[in-house]
Structure 1
Amino acid sequence: MNSPADALAQVAADLRELLGGDALAGLSDAERAEVLVGLGEVSRLTDAGVVEAVATADAEFGHRFGCRGMNEMLRRTVLVDASAAARIMRAAEAVQRDTSLVSGERLPARWPCMREALLDGAVGVAGLLAAVTPPERARDRITAEQRMWADENLAAFARRRASGFR
């Protein structure tokens, strides 16, 4: 089996090939719309991959590569600015799965349905943050049950919206 890095290198090579010629110039309107839908999905899945890589990294990850922290690591590797790196880190905090100190098993994410919507490509970083930031700001004024209700409904809306054009 290919490593994750090998699989990503193949995806990047395929995209370069697609973008390298005039393949997109000769498309019909319907084909161009389908390409946009596909590229949007790839973009959201790329967001999900970056967020998941950050969410599963330990606190010292960036330091081991000579960075001052995760923000700098993201700026160097993903080539984003500091504010985009901060958004990625906030998204990772919302969907990360901690490990139980007692059993060692991975615990559910704070926003499990939105996490699945992210990993399925139904929502990107911007959509995830737009959905979870208001309830997070009201954290002390809503119950866990209300947060779970919001999580389920926000994820369901994101999934309906993502499938809307096709």
Structure 2
Amino acid sequence: MGGAAAGTKWIHHIQRLSAAKVSAEAVERGQSRVIDASLTLIRERAKLKAELLRALGGVKASASLLGVPLGHNSSFLQGPAFAPPRIREAIWCGSTNSSTEEGKELNDPRVLTDVGDVPIHEIRDCGVEDDRLMHVISESVKTVMEEEPLRPLVLGGDHSISYPVGTLIRMPRHLPE
């Protein structure tokens, strides 16, 4: 299923639940479980990567890729949702120069790690509204920020993710010296 049909798949699912007289409370509980599982997935991936980096030692900060494959708010095409895997493919491509101008190797987890994607499509499939989805995005970024020495590098999605990500910049944070 591609394009607009994929973007509206969840609407039809929720309409079927409403027609089946599933209570709003039951839908809310189900949505909450999916959101909790999604945040747990990001949290556990971030903890695993942070533990690995601490075990390697000598890491003050490591950029950590966090994909947010969201594109349904795009005014034209749904392409932004496909950006995170394409960016990763370009970064990890064998023909790409993995050395930075400072001589750091992107293949070194002390420089760049990856905690995966926020499961946007799975969350939207449950009929979660945009306001709640933006909160999940914000919480996902915050979760990565809380795991020292990770520093989230968010791969988007459309421009609607800017606000939930940008609001976290104002959060107080202990920075390495």
- Which structure is richer in relative contact order (CA contacts within 8 A, separation 6 or more)? 2
**Greater fraction strand:** 2
How does the TM-score come out when normalised to structure 1?
0.31
Bigger fraction of residues in helix:
1
